[in-house]
Amino acid sequence: MLGCIYDLRVGGAETSLLAEYRRLPNYGIDASVLCLGSDRTLAAEFAEANIKVTFVPTGNWFSRARFVVRFLRSGRFELVHTMLFWPDVVVRPLARLCGIPVVSSFTNEYYGKEHRQHSHHGSFGVIIAQIADALTAKLTAGFHAISTRSGHIMARRLGIRKSRITVIYRGRDISELGRRTPERRISARERFNLTSEFVFLCVGRQDYQKAHEIAVRAFNEIAGELPQAVLWLAGREGGNSALVHSEIERSPYRGRIVMLGERKDVPELLVASDAFIMPSRFEGLAGAVIEAMALEAPLVLTDIPVFHEVSDHRALFFNRDNVSGLAECLRAIASGGYPDGWIHELRKRVEHFFDIEKVSSDLADFYRKNGRKPVP
């Protein structure tokens, strides 16, 4: 089994791949990874998990494609699983050329109006990408969607029958995440030098999709009323970084807005925080929401279908891009307006639907269903 992803940066797809593939041997699947890009941020974690990773050497597209073909023809793979755009459109046809079945994942809601308007490739570039994705998707044996919503959207945009799509949520290692105990919370807050601060935490890369600037603007509306409140923004820089930095610089409360950058200690940030905010304009699933649910942080989420699907409606919701609506949710959270029962119900929901063991078992079944039989 070969998983093909662009690189090993810290992101939802990459983190989930690590969590799932380290467990697949327990279900009879030997998995390795092929990367088209060069970012090796998570390489040490993959090596520690005994997951073999191969990076395609740098060079022109022809030499790199030739390397991929030779690699695929090594005869070791019964199935190739492509994730994200470049692996999808490049590796799908090459794998089929080598006679290997291919499956692909739907991890987000691509090719919509907003994608065309805000992509740095421009509207025409997005349309070309959609055509390439739709054409190479015809070579795919089956599809895996990380949520019902993402499956429905991408089926329509790529012209794929919904019956070909298997929904398997992204999972998290609940035992590794642990629980939000009083002792752990005290330790986490001491680690981050917190005393009486009320921490709103926002996690995700700084792209248009994540809408961190909405969180900054909403925080500005309530910061004067809540002198103990601080806003933490965790995640790598992206296409919206300039706007986010500009909003912070203009804020009269910029000293209470902390840019944390890309982090590997998000679970401890969640335990130390008092509320989790996800103001995304659209999402495939959002693994950070699952982690927040597992660590029993009150949720403030955009009112979009996938967040209702993940949280089973147990969150404070605000209309997309509505700064005042988000500010009202922040006020409600700070004043104790979040039902205690929801926190415990969300934890149970993670245990039932998003536990990494269940997800890995379902993924192994999906691979067996779509892979070819090994030659005796």
pLDDT at 375: 37
27 by Cβ neighbours in 10 Å (0-12 / 13-18 / 19+) ranks as middle
Contact 187, 219 (CB under 8 A): no
* 74-95 mean pLDDT: 93
> pLDDT-based confidence at 74, cuts 50/70/90?
confident
User: What tokens does 174 get?
Assistant: 């609940």
* Sequence spans of domains, the chain: 2-171+355-370, 175-354
Range name among 21-25, 126-130, 337-341, 370-374 with the lowest pLDDT average: 370-374
* 171-183 mean pLDDT: 93
Question: Residue 208 above 60 pLDDT?
Answer: yes
pLDDT at 123: 93
pLDDT at 373: 53
Contact 100, 77 (CB under 8 A): yes
* 17-40 mean pLDDT: 94
Distance between alpha carbon 222 and the CA centroid of its chain, in Å? 29
Question: Residue 374 above 50 pLDDT?
Answer: no
CATH code matching the domain that covers 175-354, chosen among 3.40.190.10, 1.10.10.60, 3.40.50.2000, 1.20.1440.230: 3.40.50.2000
Question: Residue 136 above 80 pLDDT?
Answer: yes
What is the pTM (predicted TM-score) of this model? 0.86
* 49-72 mean pLDDT: 95
Whether the domain at 2-171+355-370 and the domain at 175-354 fall into the same CATH topology: yes
pLDDT at 36: 96
Q: Which CATH architecture has domain 2-171+355-370?
A: 3-Layer(aba) Sandwich (3.40)
What's the distance, Cα to Cα, between the start and end of the chain in Å?
17
Count CA within 13 A, CB hemisphere, residue 155. Answer: 19
